[in-house]
Amino acid sequence: MVQDIAAMLPAFERHRGNLIPILQAIQERHSYLSGAAMKMVAKHLGIGPGEVYGVATFYNQFRFQPPGRHRIKVCLGTACHVAGGEIILENFERKLGIKDGETTADREYSVERVVCVGCCALAPVALLDDDVLGRMLPSKVEGLFVQFEIERQRQEREKVARESGEQARD
């Protein structure tokens, strides 16, 4: 990541007005802003790392942890907000024990708010990786976690079966 950012920075003139475009470009490429990345940006622009961090945390578009293996995005564009998107976000946060922009300790899931994803007719909308989940309800969030658990148990059983098959061959 550090090498890639070092290669990206010269494309941006060294003036403070480029701070947000640089942070956006880094996040676009690496999905989050690490402490090292923010220090590099500070050095490039000749400003303090604290200032970069302060600006980045002011805007809720930036995340500071790598996303989970599964990314849950909850739309809070106008249509989804009106249709109860906040409640859906709260449900995901409570189920996962994390807040908007955070990743679970096992790095399996992350949750974040996004703006309109273009399917307002299905509001409130959430995305699970690339799958659109429309007309979300708290009960659908619950159902999703039941499916996750069933899938986790299936994978666990397959793993045990594979390992015992390998031991039988040895």
Give the interface with ligand FES as residue ranges (CB under 6 A): 75, 77-80, 116-120, 123, 125
CB of residue 146 vs ligand FES: minimum separation in angstroms? Answer: 25
Whether 42 contacts 51, CB under 8 Å:
yes
CB of residue 72 vs ligand FES: minimum separation in angstroms? Answer: 14
Position of minimal CB gap to ligand FES: 77
Residue number, 5 or 125, with CB nearest to ligand FES: 125
Burial classification of residue 92, based on how many CB atoms lie within 10 Å of its CB (0-12 exposed, 13-18 middle, 19 or more buried):
buried
Can you give the C-alpha Rg of the chain in angstroms?
20
Residue number, 87 or 120, with CB nearest to ligand FES: 120
CB of residue 167 vs ligand FES: minimum separation in angstroms? Answer: 50
Residue number, 7 or 121, with CB nearest to ligand FES: 121
DSSP state of 103: B
Whether 120 contacts 80, CB under 8 Å:
yes
| Identity of the residue numbered 135 | R
CB of residue 126 vs ligand FES: minimum separation in angstroms? Answer: 9
Chain centroid to CA 53: how far? 18
Residue number, 57 or 78, with CB nearest to ligand FES: 78
Q: What are phi and psi of 60, to 5 degrees?
A: -85, 10
